[in-house]
Amino acid sequence: MYKNKKIILISFASKDLIRSAKRIRHEAENSKFYDEIKIFNEDDFDKDIGKLVKDLIKKIKKEVIVIGFGNLILFAKPLKN
């Protein structure tokens, strides 16, 4: 908590980056800075957004790496429950 505010780390990593996601989670937990840590992958989205994310990942791998593309999609539609 920081000034009575909950601090949440939200990140996105495609499945092929599972090792990196685990490392980020481990480092975040060890920092003891965050109250909550959420790392999403394409399976955490509803069917339509999940397909969009998977297609985008394939396209990006073919063309260029864009850092932060997950944030644009993450707020496009709510995550599935």
CA angle (80, 38, 32) in 5-degree steps: 160
Task: Identify which of 23, 21, 31, 70 has the alpha carbon closest to the alpha carbon of residue 50.
Answer: 70
Residues 42-69: tens digit of each pLDDT: 788 788 877 887 787 777 665 544 445 4
Spatial contact of 23 and 50, defined as CB atoms under 8 Å apart: no
Residues 3-13: tens digit of each pLDDT: 788 898 988 88
Distances in whole angstroms, Cα of residue 63 to Cα of each of 50, 57, 59, 60, 66: 20, 10, 6, 5, 9
d(CA 76, CA 15): 20
pTM here?
A: 0.59
